[in-house]
């Protein structure tokens, strides 16, 4: 009996070897016979109509098979609803090549299909459009007076409108002895995974398609393709075994999938469409937001009023919303609260969730406001937060399923050396550098969605699991295999987790830090059933060594069922299957949140980030020299991959605070830095000492595994902590992100 539990162990990624040898295949890398290559043409105007199309020159190029525009596209589904997907906001979904109308700059207007990539790319430059341009609005700041409430719809379930006011905020704020009012702003960001969005569609004949796609939701895209093109669900198979990053951009079917499938069906050929980097800026982004906070406290630093309002952009056709303004009251108690959230529709594409959507936006405003209050109160920022620590969720009065934020504060502060902080801004100098310490709190929801798991013991006595979920780099394969191995008492190498395939049982898209809870719980449920079945078979064997035992009397280990009290008495999985005439023992089960019970609780992951920055005393160049993030997210299945999730999030936080932004030229109505040279994400030289701590947070209520997810919680606190550290270093409060160092000059 040698198999040791793997949960809680830093297991290296099971697909690691495939990734470091280049053997892992991504959506654009499947070699299929007679493959045609599609290249997308995008609109060069922001709003208006196509009045003339000339595809003649492109079609005349040797090797061009077809040029598809709105004029010659095949018949499509009529109803907007058929274009919808699990993550579609209220509104009317954008339909590529549907008609002559241009809704945003960079909208796809044609697909050139050719026998090779280079020919398609060249011919794409020869397709010409004549437009009738209309005036457009792409600037949030200029259109704030148009802010209105968001429409409600299916997707609103996960993104409820702002909570109702409590108490009398205006009265409380007016009379408060200590208060801060400020405005926060951040620009548009694009996900920019390094893998370009791509789809390879294999035309199987008989209306059947096998599609290698870059997505976070194989079934979401399967349903979309079937609905839009009038195919049977079972005839559409989406495969996404490797996804080169997505960060939210793959939550909805993107236009390369649509165009690729359209071309494959029209031409009855295998087709690949890969977007270029500029086109990666032509769909889906984190919306620009303007936020206003007004927080007040009494003389002792107890919060008395919280007012948070936010205005975000959306497209003219869908009302994308985020949960921005509700967070402060989930984090801090206050008797008087007022929250508002509005949208301004602009002539841009609909935003989409981008890592920690809403949360990282909100926490920047909330935690910088808290920092300002701490200075006003002459309190240590950490002490100020502890004075306003919420043991139960102040916004619902419900207890948390677990909340080890206090431990995050303590362990994070200790590891960081927070107590060495000199409270006076600009007081710590290290040769040419001003040194600043900053901290912030983070919070993220703990989602769990239903998922179905197929599990079977094969004739080799090994466990095979099937689920449609993706692994976008999060470590899902490894984590799921660990959970399954431990449930059945098998060594990791005896577990095969098949994923990234819409043919497998249901999983939601991979978003919101939900997968470990959702898919993981489904494994637990399926494993339990499987064990029951195995036990029943084993006990029923003639002269079974475990005959007469009850299920409680046995343990599952090393591919055997042992009597707990007599390890010499056992039946192996292999024997069970062989006595089952070689047929695998299998089960398919649904794992789902215990909604009834969870209704009594609030559930969230928490974090605390401590940051040190150096700001050059003359030139104001900012460096995040070190940072510690302490995370309370329930049980950590794999501390190695979980740590990487937090580290990656911290890099995202540095990027959001100091580097990345997509710049809209409001006169041209388009983004202008649509490349990785001018859209700055951190390089290795920007990243210094980062540290991660996981608080010991046991949660027996949240789900069978006690997990909360770690994909986003590591990001939410970081930008605010950096902005607070920059203030501490310099005495200058910058409320815009990213912080341009020159604003400190």
Partner 1 sequence: MIGISLNVNQHQYHIQVSPWVSLLDALRDHLKLTGTKKGCDHGQCGACTVLCDDRRILSCLTLAVMKNGANITTIEGISGENELHPLQQSFIDHDAFQCGYCTPGQICSAVSLLKEGKAKTREEVKELMSGNLCRCGANMGIIDAIMEVKERGLYE
Partner 2 sequence: MNNFDYIRASDIDDALASLNTHDNGSFIAGGTNLIDLWKYNLLHPDLLIDINHLPGHHAIEEIEEGGVRLSAFLTNADTAYHPLIEERYPLLSKAILAGASAQIRNMATNGGNLLQRTRCYYFYDPDAPCNKRNPGSGCSALNGYNRIHAILGASENCIAVFPSDMCVALAALDAVVNVTGINGERNIRFEDFHRLPGDTPELDNNLKRGEIITSIDLPAKGFAKNYSYLKLRDRHSYAFALVSVATGMELDGDIIKEARIALGGVAHRPWRLKEAESFLQGKRADEHSFAAAADMMLEGAKGFKYNSFKIELAKKAIVRNGLMALDPHSQLPGAQPSA
Which residues of the shown chain bind partner 1 in the complex (CB under 8 A)?
A: 12-13, 15-26, 28-29, 31, 116-118, 122, 192-196, 242-247, 274, 276-277, 472-475, 640-641, 643-645, 647-652, 675-677, 681-687, 690
CB of 741 to partner 2, least distance (A): 8
Which C-beta is closer to partner 1: that of 141 or that of 493?
493
Nearest one of 644, 655, 616, 651 to 711, comparing CA atoms = 644
Which C-beta is closer to partner 1: that of 5 or that of 16?
16
* The binder of partner 2 chosen from 9, 121, 152, 574 (CB under 8 A): 121
Which C-beta is closer to partner 1: that of 483 or that of 690?
690
For β-strands 208-213 and 236-239, DSSP reports them as parallel
Q: CA torsion 514→87→445→371, rounded to 10°? A: 130
Q: Which option in partner 1, partner 2, none does residue 649 bind, with CB closer than 5 to 8 A by kind?
A: partner 1
Could you say which DSSP state residue 349 is in?
P
CB of 686 to partner 2, least distance (A): 5
| Residue pair 607/632 in contact by the 8 Å Cβ criterion | yes
Q: Which two tokens stand for residue 88?
A: 């579609």
Interatomic CA distance for residues 709 and 92, integer angstroms:
32
| Residue pair 733/614 in contact by the 8 Å Cβ criterion | no
CB of 677 to partner 2, least distance (A): 7
CB of 739 to partner 2, least distance (A): 11
Q: Which option in partner 2, partner 1, none does residue 421 bind, with CB closer than 5 to 8 A by kind?
A: none
Q: Which stretch binds partner 2 (CB under 8 A): 150-158, 309-317, 430-438, 480-488?
A: 430-438
If you compute the radius of gyration of the chain from its CA atoms, what whole number of angstroms results? 27
CB of 653 to partner 1, least distance (A): 9
SS3 668: coil
Nearest one of 540, 553, 558, 542 to 461, comparing CA atoms = 558
Nearest one of 177, 190, 415 to 300, comparing CA atoms = 177
Q: Which option in partner 1, partner 2, none does residue 75 bind, with CB closer than 5 to 8 A by kind?
A: none
| Residue pair 633/478 in contact by the 8 Å Cβ criterion | no
Q: What is the DSSP string of 678-726?
A: TS----GGG--EEEEEE-----SSS-TT-B---SSHHHHTHHHHHHHHH
The residue to which tokens 């160049």 are assigned:
621
Provide the sign of the torsion angle of the four alpha carbons 255, 256, 257, 262, taken in this order. Answer: positive
Interatomic CA distance for residues 363 and 722, integer angstroms:
12
Q: Which option in partner 2, partner 1, none does residue 409 bind, with CB closer than 5 to 8 A by kind?
A: none
Q: Which option in partner 2, partner 1, none does residue 745 bind, with CB closer than 5 to 8 A by kind?
A: partner 2
Round to the nearest angstrom and report the end-to-end CA distance of the chain.
Answer: 66
- Does the protein bind partner 2 through residue 701 (CB under 8 A)? no
Could you say which DSSP state residue 329 is in?
H
Residue 115 — left, alpha, or beta (φ > 0 → left; ψ -120 to 50 → alpha)? Answer: alpha
Interatomic CA distance for residues 623 and 620, integer angstroms:
9
Q: What is the DSSP string of 351-367?
A: P---SSTTHHHHHHHHH
Q: Which option in partner 1, partner 2, none does residue 618 bind, with CB closer than 5 to 8 A by kind?
A: partner 2
Which C-beta is closer to partner 1: that of 34 or that of 677?
677
CB of 578 to partner 1, least distance (A): 33
* The binder of partner 2 chosen from 118, 181, 460, 493 (CB under 8 A): 118
Q: Which option in partner 2, partner 1, none does residue 13 bind, with CB closer than 5 to 8 A by kind?
A: partner 1
Which C-beta is closer to partner 1: that of 13 or that of 670?
13
Site string for partner 2, 43-62 (x = CB under 8 A): -x------------------
SS3 452: strand
- Does the protein bind partner 2 through residue 76 (CB under 8 A)? no
Site string for partner 2, 654-693 (x = CB under 8 A): ----xx---x-x-xx-x-xx-x-xx-x-xxxxx-------
Q: Which option in partner 2, partner 1, none does residue 742 bind, with CB closer than 5 to 8 A by kind?
A: partner 2
Which C-beta is closer to partner 1: that of 555 or that of 647?
647
Q: Which option in partner 2, partner 1, none does residue 27 bind, with CB closer than 5 to 8 A by kind?
A: none
| Longest pairwise C-alpha distance within the chain | 85
Which C-beta is closer to partner 1: that of 17 or that of 52?
17
CB of 652 to partner 1, least distance (A): 6
| Residue pair 420/546 in contact by the 8 Å Cβ criterion | no
Q: Which option in partner 2, partner 1, none does residue 106 bind, with CB closer than 5 to 8 A by kind?
A: none
Element (H, E) at 435: strand 433-445
* The binder of partner 2 chosen from 81, 194, 547, 619 (CB under 8 A): 619
| Residue pair 737/537 in contact by the 8 Å Cβ criterion | no
Q: Which option in partner 1, partner 2, none does residue 432 bind, with CB closer than 5 to 8 A by kind?
A: partner 2
β-strand partners of 613: 436, 624
Q: What is the DSSP string of 485-526?
A: HHHHT--GGGEEEE-SBTTSSP---S-TT-HHHHHHHHHHHH
Q: Which option in partner 1, partner 2, none does residue 504 bind, with CB closer than 5 to 8 A by kind?
A: none
Interatomic CA distance for residues 277 and 739, integer angstroms:
25
Q: Which option in partner 2, partner 1, none does residue 28 bind, with CB closer than 5 to 8 A by kind?
A: partner 1
CB of 516 to partner 1, least distance (A): 15
CB of 355 to partner 1, least distance (A): 10
CB of 683 to partner 2, least distance (A): 5
SS3 571: strand
Q: Which option in partner 1, partner 2, none does residue 536 bind, with CB closer than 5 to 8 A by kind?
A: none
* The binder of partner 2 chosen from 432, 578, 597, 700 (CB under 8 A): 432
Which C-beta is closer to partner 1: that of 389 or that of 741?
741
Interatomic CA distance for residues 181 and 593, integer angstroms:
40
Length of the chain: 745
CB of 404 to partner 2, least distance (A): 35
Which C-beta is closer to partner 1: that of 492 or that of 681?
681
Which C-beta is closer to partner 1: that of 135 or that of 677?
677
Q: Which option in partner 1, partner 2, none does residue 644 bind, with CB closer than 5 to 8 A by kind?
A: partner 1
- Residue 95 CB neighbour total at 10 angstroms: 18
Rounded (5°) CA angle 148-319-49: 100
Which C-beta is closer to partner 2: that of 23 or that of 672?
672
Q: Which option in partner 2, partner 1, none does residue 623 bind, with CB closer than 5 to 8 A by kind?
A: partner 2
Interatomic CA distance for residues 350 and 287, integer angstroms:
9
Sheet holding 48-54, edge to edge: 101-102, 48-54, 128-133
The residue to which tokens 């449930």 are assigned:
487
| Residue pair 601/445 in contact by the 8 Å Cβ criterion | no
- In 394-433, which positions are buried (b, 16+ CB within 10 angstroms) versus exposed (e)? bbeeeebbbbbbbbbbbbbbeebebeebeeebbebeeeeb
CB of 7 to partner 1, least distance (A): 17
CB of 332 to partner 1, least distance (A): 29
Site string for partner 2, 721-740 (x = CB under 8 A): -------------------x
Binding residues for partner 2 (CB under 8 A) = 44, 118, 121-122, 124-125, 430-433, 616, 618-619, 621, 623, 658-659, 663, 665, 667-668, 670, 672-673, 675, 677-678, 680, 682-686, 740-743, 745
């Amino acid at each position: 009996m040698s198999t040791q539990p793997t949960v809680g162990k830093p297991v290296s990624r099971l697909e690691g070897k495939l990734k470091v040898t280049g053997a892992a295949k991504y959506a654009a890398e499947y070699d299929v016979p007679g493959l045609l290559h599609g290249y997308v043409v995008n609109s060069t105007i922001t709003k208006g109509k196509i009045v003339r199309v000339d595809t003649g020159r492109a079609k005349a190029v040797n090797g061009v098979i077809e040029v598809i525009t709105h004029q010659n596209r095949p018949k499509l589904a009529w109803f907007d609803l058929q274009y919808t997907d699990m993550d579609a906001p209220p509104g009317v979904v954008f339909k590529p090549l549907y008609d002559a109308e241009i809704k945003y700059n960079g909208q796809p207007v044609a697909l050139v299909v050719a026998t090779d990539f280079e020919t398609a790319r060249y011919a794409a430059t020869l397709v010409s459009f004549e437009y009738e341009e209309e005036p457009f609005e792409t600037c949030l700041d200029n259109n704030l007076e148009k802010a209105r409430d968001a429409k409600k719809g299916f997707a609103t379930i996960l993104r409820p409108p702002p909570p109702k006011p409590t108490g009398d905020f205006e009265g409380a704020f007016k009379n408060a002895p200590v208060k801060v009012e400020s405005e926060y702003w951040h620009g548009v960001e694009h996900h920019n995974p390094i893998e370009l969005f791509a789809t390879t569609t294999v035309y199987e004949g008989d209306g059947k398609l096998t599609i290698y796609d870059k997505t976070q939701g194989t079934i979401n895209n399967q349903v979309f393709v079937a609905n839009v093109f009038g195919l049977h669900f079972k005839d559409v198979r989406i495969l996404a075994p490797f996804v080169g990053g997505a960060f939210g951009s793959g939550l909805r079917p993107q236009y390369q999938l649509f165009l690729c499938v359209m071309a494959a069906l029209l031409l009855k050929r295998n087709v690949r469409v890969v977007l270029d980097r500029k086109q990666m800026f032509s769909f889906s982004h984190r919306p620009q937001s303007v936020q206003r906070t007004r927080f007040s406290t009494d003389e002792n630093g107890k919060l008395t009023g919280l007012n948070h309002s936010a205005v975000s952009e959306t497209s003219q056709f869908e009302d994308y919303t985020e949960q921005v303004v509700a967070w402060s009251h989930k984090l801090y108690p206050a008797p008087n609260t007022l929250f508002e959230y509005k949208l301004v529709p602009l002539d841009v594409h609909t935003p989409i969730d981008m890592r920690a959507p809403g949360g990282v936006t909100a926490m920047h405003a909330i935690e910088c406001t808290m920092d300002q209050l701490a200075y006003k109160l002459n309190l240590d920022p950490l002490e100020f937060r502890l004075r306003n620590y919420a043991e139960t969720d102040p916004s619902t009065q419900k207890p948390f399923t677990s909340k080890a934020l206090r431990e995050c504060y303590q362990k994070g502060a200790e590891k960081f050396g927070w107590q060495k902080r000199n409270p006076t801004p600009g007081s710590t100098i290290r040769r040419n550098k001003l040194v600043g310490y900053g901290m912030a709190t983070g919070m993220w929801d703990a989602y769990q969605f239903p998922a179905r798991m197929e599990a079977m013991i094969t004739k080799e006595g090994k466990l095979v699991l099937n689920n449609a979920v993706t692994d976008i780099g999060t470590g899902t394969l490894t984590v799921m295999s660990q959970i399954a191995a431990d449930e059945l008492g098998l060594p990791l190498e005896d577990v095969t987790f098949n994923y990234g395939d819409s043919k497998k049982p249901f999983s939601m898209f991979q978003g919101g830090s939900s997968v470990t809870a959702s898919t993981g719980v489904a494994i637990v449920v399926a494993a339990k059933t499987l064990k029951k079945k195995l036990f029943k078979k084993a006990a029923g064997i003639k002269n079974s060594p475990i005959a007469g035992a009850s299920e409680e009397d046995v343990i599952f280990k090393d591919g055997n069922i042992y009597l707990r009290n007599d390890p010499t008495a056992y039946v192996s999985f292999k024997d069970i299957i062989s006595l089952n005439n070689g047929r695998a023992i299998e089960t398919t089960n649904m794992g789902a949140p215990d909604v009834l019970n969870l209704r009594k609780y609030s559930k969230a992951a928490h974090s605390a980030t401590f940051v040190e920055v150096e700001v050059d005393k003359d030139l104001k160049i900012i460096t995040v020299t070190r940072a510690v993030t302490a995370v309370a997210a329930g049980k950590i299945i794999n501390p190695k991959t979980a740590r990487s999730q937090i580290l990656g999030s911290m890099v995202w936080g540095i990027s959001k605070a100091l580097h990345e932004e997509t710049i809209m030229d409001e006169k041209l109505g388009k983004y202008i830095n649509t490349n990785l040279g001018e859209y700055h994400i951190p390089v290795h030289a920007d990243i210094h000492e980062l540290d991660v701590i996981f608080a010991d947070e046991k949660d027996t209520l949240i789900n069978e595994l006690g997990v909360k997810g770690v994909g986003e919680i590591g990001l939410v606190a970081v930008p605010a902590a950096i902005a607070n550290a920059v203030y501490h270093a310099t005495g200058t409060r910058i409320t815009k992100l990213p912080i341009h160092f020159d604003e400190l000059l």
